[in-house]
Structure 1
């Protein structure tokens, strides 16, 4: 009888451990999925799919729905499957699913939440909070949303956090995709001495804090407190550590990737330096996935692992986000030929974020303008970060959604005005000669052959004097003499001769007053830019010509 009691106690203990396997998971991820266990007057008990149970209260403005219909709390029943979003450990939304018809759901009710790990045209692979990867497909009918506005699917990046909605249970085609805003972007990579790690207070204290800026470590402040959750990945020398053991590494150098979380910095990934630091700025020549190693252009071989902090397009990605032929800044740990990457910061940017995009940038003379079509003469296209001439003429199309900006008048013009005015003339006619009229020139941003934005000016710039640059806005301001100006940090210039990005070791000043500014496929004004925005631009020394917010 005594053995039986001990056995029952053991079974109960194990079931309790299972039920509370990852009690902080929803608060880290910002959402919870599972089944309702109990509904009380002001709170609800939800059991996650893995068996973990949470007792949750509601935000004062929480939105409650069942099958897409607004409901009251009393309408939720035990056993109902739900999805909820959390902020400050309180539910801000709760969606319930009560469908009785198997195989049928209200349009947009089935959803998946995860991080984009791979993009291959219409095929999107996401990683769920459980670690599993699932692949879905987009179509012409897929609606993409970001910051509450419709955006083209081409704004999507690897590393983006998304919420995918489906209209049928068994479909793999996405009906709507919500792309998380700027909170997924890496704000800083810090290096510092670990002074204190408090497991109870969920924070760490760093001393002698430096940030990775302009290809070097720049001193930020003597001491810094940063929120740190037990769920943040922690590694040393390629081996994963328990966050409970972090206190044992006080006094050691750590590298930390942080994001901006509701105005506060939040740790996302940490690695403890094991031996000696070496840094390299070079092209990744080749990758050996079997040994998890990469060879740089200088023939140096460096290994990488799941704990390596890898930043690509301003986002944290897993190790499979590293690509051969990419240009990178690598912080390595080790000695001699035994080097492992602690940080890999990939420089590469292009006009398109992935192979979903078909955006292009043209420059050329406006030879003919019809009511829906523009013919360019002696045109150039930006291809692989260089201007190339592809032919004598090119036809592009515009419509009522095309943004047309006259740089000389500093104003937008309508498609009707664009067609009616003398932006393109027959220079050999008496009408043109008597009025000294010439064809204007333009910078044109397109989606395929459809013009999204065109900026027109009387004279063509010398494209030979231009270069392509990327980086992050450190500061933007309106100068009394120079107009809208920004300081760019972590800048890189494209070198055609070396066919690689060359890191700059100082901030770069850029003028915006005569620039075409594009964000999420649309033209914006300079005052809509902000510090922290990542940019890809064509510039002529100080003066920007075309700027894409990435």
Structure 2
């Protein structure tokens, strides 16, 4: 009788869940009916015998719920439990991340019965281009997809919520989404693992490929260091193993020169994560410069300080912020170190290696701007909508965003200088502010005026209220190009945001010779945001 009653309850709740009323179940039965659990599958491991769920609303994996996570959101099972998927008998291996799951627990808290329905589809791929509202994903099938991501979509790494600005080009991700034609509704994003950075880029004369040991043997090995090729200390023939994650292998007889990007494997050895085979360079040139324009259609790259037209191809090794990326991940005015050669019969240079480090200066910091909607004194404040500074543009999101206040770390900058966060109250409602955030922690709130003129250059000398800028460039947003600008004095107001070495700073941190990026006010050209890049 007890079994029949339990089965009837389970069947009733299951019907509600599979009719799309999971929220009603949760509300009607309290948190969840005793002995019955529902949620979105994050992971199922038949070998180790456990299943982990997100709650139906995507919560349950936050740091605040860390204790509850182990106790309530991960469940163990025996391999022989009954399983159904989409109302058909199934095996545990058939259950997919993103499925909606309904679990019946036995008296000891183990899974006695598991039913799932296709709900969210997992999309696997690599971040091709970072965008606040719609990142571009390169899927495993080679298709590029721009995916709209609402501001409240949770993003996880190592079971912890992370800030959106921590996603970088080259990150490997799993996106749980419902897809209806061209419409994609994202439930959550998870970084599958923190990719190891590219530890080095080498080239050398090809000796042979050892298929048995899965290694590539090179002689005369050189390393690309600070924009130039240098011979390594290793003399003779050096063998590099291929990474298991990299699938391409040489076919047939190979010769010429190999260009390889390597990462350290679990044994601390360099393993190949990308390789390209070319003829030996005849007319090689190296550049350290800024990107003025890039065309994926023409496979062409234009640099700021040279008239040379530079091409790229499928074999070009592109590394941005330590991660392998496609060339299309580079943005205008990204600083690059580049090696290129003019192959026989070609009229243009073709890049072999392109290395860019755009995180210099900013580190993990993010800069936002928005108009304050509400203030909870000493605790938090919310802006009506916001924009995030991304390279040479502001990315706008028409949704509210809440920032925490921590009196030990959050500073207030006003027109007269440093303010007092103790007085940050409802009087600031409707005030437009800048916010500097570091992985979810609010470091700085500034009342500086609106700024949207993008400039960069090098500090020539310091002045009483700022510095003199030389080698100046200004970004033309309508033409999307950088153009030369005259040297000028930059006034730095008391509430300007200054960032150096990934930390907030003040005017005293700026030195002659520093390379700086500036966002200035259009009216008086004051430097409102100053990022020291090197």
TM-score by length of 1: 0.50
| Alignment CA distance shift 1:188-1:320 (3 Å) | same
The answer to whether the 8 A contact 2:200-2:261 is kept is: yes
State yes or no: 1:225 paired with 2:243.
no
The aligned residue for residue 278 of structure 1 is 285
Alpha-carbon offset, residue 360 of structure 1: 5.2
Q: Which structure is higher in strand share? A: 1
State yes or no: 1:113 paired with 2:124.
yes
1:267-321, CA deviations, whole angstroms, 9 ceiling, x for partnerless residues?
1111123242321222333334443222333111122112211122322122322
Gaps of 5+ in 1: 1-57, 85-93, 235-241, 362-369, 375-381, 386-396, 407-414, 421-442, 457-465, 470-493, 501-514, 524-537
Distance 1:147 1:495 in 2: 45
Distance 1:467 1:185 in 2: 29
* Other structure's SS at 2:184 match: coil
State yes or no: 1:329 paired with 2:315.
no
The aligned residue for residue 132 of structure 1 is 143
The aligned residue for residue 269 of structure 1 is 274
Alpha-carbon offset, residue 162 of structure 1: 0.6
Distance 2:139 2:391 in 1: 34
Q: Give the one of 293, 296, 300 matched to 1:293.
A: 300
| Alignment CA distance shift 1:195-1:230 (3 Å) | farther
State yes or no: 1:190 paired with 2:165.
no
| Alignment CA distance shift 1:149-1:248 (3 Å) | same
Q: How does 1:22-421 map to 2 (within 5 A)?
A: 62=48, 64-65=50-51, 70-75=76-81, 80=91, 82=93, 110-166=121-177, 172-222=184-234, 224-228=238-242, 232=246, 243-245=250-252, 248-249=254-255, 252-262=256-266, 263-276=268-281, 277-297=284-304, 298-335=306-343, 337-349=347-359, 359=367, 371=378, 399-401=404-406, 403-404=408-409, 419=422
Distance 2:390 2:213 in 1: 51
The answer to whether the 8 A contact 1:83-1:95 is kept is: no
Alpha-carbon offset, residue 496 of structure 1: 5.4
Distance 1:72 1:221 in 2: 55
The answer to whether the 8 A contact 2:172-2:192 is kept is: yes
The answer to whether the 8 A contact 1:164-1:174 is kept is: yes
The answer to whether the 8 A contact 1:194-1:205 is kept is: yes
Alpha-carbon offset, residue 402 of structure 1: 6.0
| Alignment CA distance shift 1:114-1:498 (3 Å) | same
* Other structure's SS at 1:343 match: strand
The answer to whether the 8 A contact 2:367-2:435 is kept is: no
The answer to whether the 8 A contact 1:332-1:342 is kept is: yes
Distance 2:233 2:348 in 1: 32
The aligned residue for residue 237 of structure 1 is none
The aligned residue for residue 482 of structure 1 is none
Name which of structure 1's ranges 309-318 and 70-79 shifts more when overlaid on structure 2.
70-79
1:454-492, CA deviations, whole angstroms, 9 ceiling, x for partnerless residues?
599xxxxxxxxx9999xxxxxxxxxxxxxxxxxxxxxxx
The aligned residue for residue 436 of structure 2 is 445
TM-score by length of 2: 0.51
Alpha-carbon offset, residue 359 of structure 1: 1.5
* Other structure's SS at 1:174 match: strand
| Alignment CA distance shift 1:201-1:384 (3 Å) | closer
May I ask how many residue pairs the two structures share in their alignment? 352
